């Protein structure tokens, strides 16, 4: 019995030492930039006084240029849209009430950087410009060029939409 207790104590001690000595990406702040690959898009409308106010768009579907369905007939005030890791342009198709279709194209500068050997690489994005078709979208406004750099950024792009009856 004494031999078994010694082995368990030695094994427990070895495991504790190994866990303390393991370097890695266990600290979330080390790898915090690996999740910042989406832009925040808010919907707005012009008031009678020509000021912008946030609005909710209903029955909205969004599809990427590659055909991935991101949102299906949702009501939204803000969306998060993923940026392409392989291209300097990300395109999205917006279906308003399944009728009006608009294309939103986001042009970015990509910078690949090494976080650490444990975390790997990350892509940082800086938005150059935004363009859209003008069916239901009135215009787009670039609010914040840096993507996901601070938690305080509540939006990157305002999409001004037409008022609905």
SS3 sequence, 2-64?
A: HHHHHHHHHHHHHHHHHHHHCCCCCCHHHHHHHHCCEEEEEEEEECCCCCEEECCEEEEEEEE
| CA gap 43, 53 in Å, rounded | 9
pLDDT score at 122: 81
- Within-domain flag for 8: no
Q: What is the mean pLDDT of residues 87-94?
A: 96
- Within-domain flag for 59: yes
- Within-domain flag for 146: yes
- Within-domain flag for 107: yes
- Within-domain flag for 5: no
Burial group, residue 67, by CB count within 10 angstroms (0-12, 13-18, 19+): exposed
pTM attached to this predicted model = 0.76
pLDDT score at 91: 97
Domain count, the chain: 1
Distances in whole angstroms, Cα of residue 79 to Cα of each of 4, 20, 68, 112, 114 = 58, 41, 15, 25, 28
Q: What is the pLDDT of residues 16-74, one digit of tens each?
A: 434 333 444 444 455 665 556 799 999 999 998 989 999 999 999 999 999 999 999 99
Range(s) of the domain holding residue 83: 25-161
Task: Give residues with Cβ within 8 angstroms of 87, minimum separation 6.
Answer: none
- Within-domain flag for 31: yes
Instruction: Name the average pLDDT for the chain.
Output: 82
């Amino acid at each position: 019995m004494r031999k078994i207790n010694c082995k368990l104590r030695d094994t427990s001690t070895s495991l504790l030492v190994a866990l303390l000595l393991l370097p890695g990406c266990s600290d979330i702040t080390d790898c915090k930039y690996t999740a910042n690959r989406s832009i925040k898009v808010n919907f707005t409308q012009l008031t009678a006084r020509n000021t912008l106010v946030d609005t909710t768009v209903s029955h909205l579907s969004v599809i990427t240029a590659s055909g991935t369905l991101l949102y299906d007939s949702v009501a939204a005030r803000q969306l998060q849209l993923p940026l392409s890791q392989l291209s300097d342009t990300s395109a999205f198709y917006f279906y308003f009430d399944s009728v009006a279709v608009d294309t939103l194209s986001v042009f970015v500068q990509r910078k690949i950087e090494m976080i650490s050997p444990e975390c790997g690489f990350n892509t940082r994005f800086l938005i150059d410009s935004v363009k859209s078709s003008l069916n239901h979208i009135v215009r787009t406004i670039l609010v914040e060029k840096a993507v996901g750099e601070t938690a305080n950024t509540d939006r990157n792009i305002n999409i001004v939409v037409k008022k609905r009856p």
